[in-house]
Amino acid sequence: MRRTALLASATLLAALLPMTTAAGASGADDPDPAPVPVDRFEGEVPFASPPAEGLFTWGGDGDDAPALGLTSRADAPEGGKVLTGSYDISGYGGFTHDFAFAEPAHDWSAHRGIRFWWEGRDNGRKIAFEIKDGGANGEASELWTTSFTDDWTGWKQVEIPFTDFTYRTDYQPVGGIDQVLGLTETWGYALTLPVGVKGDFAMDGVELYGRADQSLRAAVTTGAAVYPVEEGRAAAVELTVATTGAAPLGDPVTVAYETAATGTAEPGKDYTPVTGTVTFPAGTPSGATRTVTVPTLKDKRAESAETVPLRLTVTGARPPAENPQVVVDAHGLPYLNAKLPVKKRVADLLSRMSLAEKAGQMTQAERGAIGTGADIASYDLGSLLSGGGSTPTPNTADAWAKMIDGYQLRAQATRFQIPLIYGVDAVHGHNNLVGATVMPHNIGIGATRDPRLAERTGAVTAAEVRATGVPWDFAPCLCVTRDERWGRSYESFGEDPALVESMETVVQGLQGARDGRDLKDGDKVLATAKHFVGDGGTEYGSSTTGSYTIDQGVTKVTRQQLEAVHLAPYRTAVDRGVGSVMPSYSSLDILGDGRGPVKMHARADMINGVLKGRMGFDGFVISDWNAIDQLPGDYASRVRAAVDAGVDMMMVPYSYKEFTATLIDEAGAGRITERRIDDAVARILTQKFALGLFEKPYADTGGASAIGSAGHRAVARQAAAESQVLLKNSGGVLPLKKNQKVYVAGSNADDIGNQTGGWTITWQGASGDITQGTTILDGMRKAGGDVTYSRDASASTAGYDVGVVVVGETPYAEGVGDVGNGNDLELTAADRAAVDKVCAAMRCAVLIVSGRPQLIGDRLAGIDALVASWLPGTEGDGVADVLYGRRPFTGQLPVTWPKTQAQLPINVGDAAYDPQFPYGWGLTTLNRVPEGGATTLKGLGAAAAVAERAGADEVGRALVTKARLIVQRKVGQAVTAAVAKPFADADHLLLTGRYGKAVERLTAAYRAAA
């Protein structure tokens, strides 16, 4: 049915808005006030899209959204029209009414519930009904849900008390707010329609009914769900009464309590049973607290943890969502002794664990899937993660620490109190956290050619991540990007495995010493080498994941190519002591082995054979997000394949229950061996002990004050500066002078979201002011320049000395950014227009802010200076530093810059190699650029060969750099294929320590230059 906007008069709309109290409808003393309309469906509610007020549909794919309309019906229960719709849903679908986001939220707290007329079809299907509570608007609120069953025919008024609504645990748009149904700020409602059946519906007369009793306006909460206590001490359980609007209690609230004998602790032996009643009299202020004390008893036995449930019966208020439990801490067992070697602690703990407990350790769930966290103990979960954008509300360091501490507290209710290991994708700083220091993406770090700086960026990231309670980082990506059409290419340090290996100092920045002795420190985290192996080599067009074109596709290589290009960085990572490894989504097709493409999560030859066997990796392997779902066969066979291949922990964000049940069944039936299970769990426990989590499971927030600090941002600023690659600089346009009048334009000059890229605050990132930082424009202004800004270059260009046009990409992540999936390597029409206008009017420098090269050849002649700025992170000051000469340009291309897309893939070492700019290219603005010619190069070559033989790496690198600058001076912009190939080869040779040979190749490039 065609959706048409239906407008109503302001008078009618105002009359239909819910009143703030029932008393406003019918008087304060009326025990049964008149109902308050929400939707009559007579035309007062428009069809619209969020976040504007109106009804809108949604669905899992293009044809899952229902069709809606307003239909005149003689049998309408209320008025003359009803809301009608038809649907045929395969995934999920439904409709929502969001109240106007520009108006105050509605206060429903004075009412008992919500009701509406529904025309039954008697199909026995459940229909979910949810309301949106709190938050900024309907699309940033908290979801509370219930359901009704369509098991009648004809019109029926469905009444749903607000007490029936429960917090939705599988999805929250902003990660949840306070998990309290306050109803004082309600933003709308939504219905989810039945799946797998074609149908239609009719609905009418949504309204609020009844008067709320105190049990809706008041609630009793406990300070925590779990109260760990040392044996022999008393646990103090806090009971707090809270009211909507913080009003004093109108009626008394009583809480009867008693310890229940249903826990694992034995009454009279492990604790003293208690029973009693706590009363909060009428007039008690909201927030008042009482304490119930549960004494535990000490004996001389070594024991695992034991639980004592405390049963609460509340009268006059809503009870806690769950009864609290006291936990008598495990004590006296060898694995708890920090003085014992880790191997002995692991062996002792492993020998005590049940199969279910071991399965739990092999399971990682998403925080958004576990609600309040009770499932952590129910399923003995070993790990949680925050996917990209999965954050607490508010998104602050303190909220992160409190959230994770709450989850760790839940783990204390398990038999052996094995702490969780919490993981995040902190791929360029603690990028999920607003206000954190965001580094350049790896492609920019590769451009710095500065391993010491890479290590420092890792150290800053680790410090900020650990200070929020997170001990595990899913970084660094050791992919070797071989095709810039790949949407993840900016996650790579570059196209040369030697460059990737050189940047793996970041592992030490994250973890500290190679032997793991620093992991327990409050500023270090467990690193993850990903994605094993070959994710950067996937063939364009080989992906079978949705609309992706290259990400998660097939890497086709000879065994020699596999070893030299894609496996090499993992040998280095293992040597550096990396604690975990994540396999790739992609498939590996080793030419000649007869197996064809096999998903990496199922390649036992590579994970068990090469990684754990030949390389000697002794950490644990964590799967990628739901990666086992991409394996062939039924679920049980997919679990077997991944576990037997060597995956130790499975990232199953929302299917953790199914995974643990299946793993237990498969192991119980002998289809997965006990030996394999024990190996996986031992590897996981080893890292938990190394991280010191058994001794200190909770966040050490001592370093939180340094998050986003000047010192940390100084490191990011230096990284941003060193990552800038000067590709062209005709007439010495750069560096700028402070006395010049500078005209700044372009889409990426003043956009912190664009310059930080994907994996920033959310998975895909976003344009705009998404976090704290300095844009490139801000940095230029702070540098003291005379700057005028016009984003689209619409302002007059007359009277300026030089223009700076900052253009490039908008954020994306993973296969969403694949070329061919709605993306290309061309500048937008607006960016091209800005470049053309500014560069036609004055001398100009063009900065390209992007995760990969952009095709600029058709405009290169009209551009005086060209800079590859990559994705510099939050510190635009660093870009300004090189623009204004505070630092010289020293960056070098980490990937080959192509002339056309038809050249892709193009990489250093290719037989045919004719790029716009070769791998390793990077002009400098050093005050003293080396001079000389063939004779000078000959001398540099001899000296470099001596340095190579002597193992004088620093000297050797300096000699090759000097030779490179001499060659670049002669080449200028005349980069031919004869120049490009030996030039690029030289940078690879430099990175592999062959300094003499590197100067030889540079000499060949010099001779080939015009």
Concerning whether 624 is annotated as a catalytic residue, the answer is yes
Cα 174 from chain centroid? 13
Read off the amino acid at residue 443: I
Measuring CA to CA, how many Å separate 507 from each of 521, 563, 580, 1003? 15, 21, 11, 35
How far apart (Å, rounded) are the C-alpha atoms in residues 200 and 391? 37
The secondary structure element, H or E, covering residue 678 is helix 674-690
How far apart (Å, rounded) are the C-alpha atoms in residues 672 and 665? 9
DSSP characters over 741-801: EEEEESTTTT-HHHHH-SSBSBSS--SSS-SS-B-HHHHHHHTT-EEEEETTS-S--TT-S
Task: Provide the β-strand partners of residue 56.
Answer: 96
Q: What is the sign, positive or negative, of the torsion defined by CA atoms of 994, 995, 1001, 1002?
A: positive
Cβ(422)–Cβ(383) below 8 Å = yes
How far apart (Å, rounded) are the C-alpha atoms in residues 513 and 20? 61
Concerning whether 42 is annotated as a catalytic residue, the answer is no
How far apart (Å, rounded) are the C-alpha atoms in residues 388 and 381? 21
CA atoms within 13 A on the CB side of 108: 30
CA atoms within 13 A on the CB side of 578: 33
How far apart (Å, rounded) are the C-alpha atoms in residues 360 and 721? 45
User: Which three-class secondary structure string do you get for 222-285?
Assistant: ECCCEEEECCCCEEEEEEEEEEHHHCCCCCCEEEEEEECCCCCCCECCCECCCEEEEEECCCCC
Overall size of the chain counted in residues: 1010
Cβ(502)–Cβ(494) below 8 Å = no
How far apart (Å, rounded) are the C-alpha atoms in residues 1006 and 988? 17
Helix (H, G, I), strand (E, B), or coil: what is residue 188? strand
How far apart (Å, rounded) are the C-alpha atoms in residues 392 and 142? 12
Query: Beta strand 125-133 with 142-150: parallel, antiparallel or unpaired?
Result: antiparallel
Task: Provide the β-strand partners of residue 153.
Answer: 121
Q: What letter would DSSP give residue 336?
A: G
The secondary structure element, H or E, covering residue 150 is strand 142-150
Catalytic-labelled residue, pool 53, 624, 877, 985: 624
Calculate the dihedral angle through the C-alpha atoms of 988, 989, 991, 992, rounding to the nearest 10 degrees: 120
Phi-psi region of 791 (alpha: psi -120 to 50; beta: other; left: phi over 0): alpha
Closest CA to 411 of 378, 387, 362, 366: 378
How far apart (Å, rounded) are the C-alpha atoms in residues 402 and 406? 6
Helices 876-883 + 710-723 axis angle, to 10: 50
Helix (H, G, I), strand (E, B), or coil: what is residue 126? strand
Q: What is the CA radius of gyration of the chain?
A: 32
The 363-366 sheet, strands edge to edge: 472-473, 421-424, 383-386, 363-366, 650-651
Phi-psi region of 892 (alpha: psi -120 to 50; beta: other; left: phi over 0): beta
Catalytic-labelled residue, pool 107, 539, 814, 818: 814
CA 92-375-625 angle, 5° bins: 55
- Which residues are designated catalytic? 624, 814
